[in-house]
Every structure is written in C-alpha cells, then in structure tokens.
Amino acid sequence: CASTASNDKAEYEQALKSAQASVQRAEEVKNNWTPIVNLMKEAEELAKKGDYAAATEKLKKADFLAKRAREQHDSQPNPGPWRW
C-alpha cells in the first residue's frame, strides 16, 4: 500500500533525525560506540533498498545506544583504566 510506504518513510526520516542528533551528542564527548556506527550504516543500506520499517528499527536502536553512551560519559567523565 502506497500510504503505508509513505508513512514508513516519514517515520524513518523522523527516526533518522533523532538518531543523528543523539549520535552527534555522543561524538561530542568522544563516546560513540561501534555498534551505533554499525546500526546507522545498516539503516542506511535498508533505506536505500526501500525497507524503511526495518531501517527505522535499526535507527531506534542506534538512538537508544547513543543516548546511553552520552549518559555514560556524563555520569563517568573520567573513569580511568580498568582495575581488576
């Protein structure tokens, strides 16, 4: 259905903006985790193929992780080396 496709694309574009903003905040403090980068790339590839629903899910996960990465930095700005 064309309506569903346009809704999926609109939701994808909204999720993309949110994820990009969260990733930028994580990058500002140099705490952008590798899984975030991978999810963003996977979402881009899925969107190129027209699978906006799956791409949106990847972006939502990336957004969540980027927010957690920023929170981690804010709560532990200088954690130092691991000591076992």
Model pLDDT for residues 23-43, shown as the tens digit of each residue: 999 999 988 899 999 999 999
Burial classification of residue 64, based on how many CB atoms lie within 10 Å of its CB (0-12 exposed, 13-18 middle, 19 or more buried): middle
pLDDT at 12 over 60: yes
pTM, rounded to two decimals: 0.84
Question: How long a stretch of residues is the chain?
Answer: 84
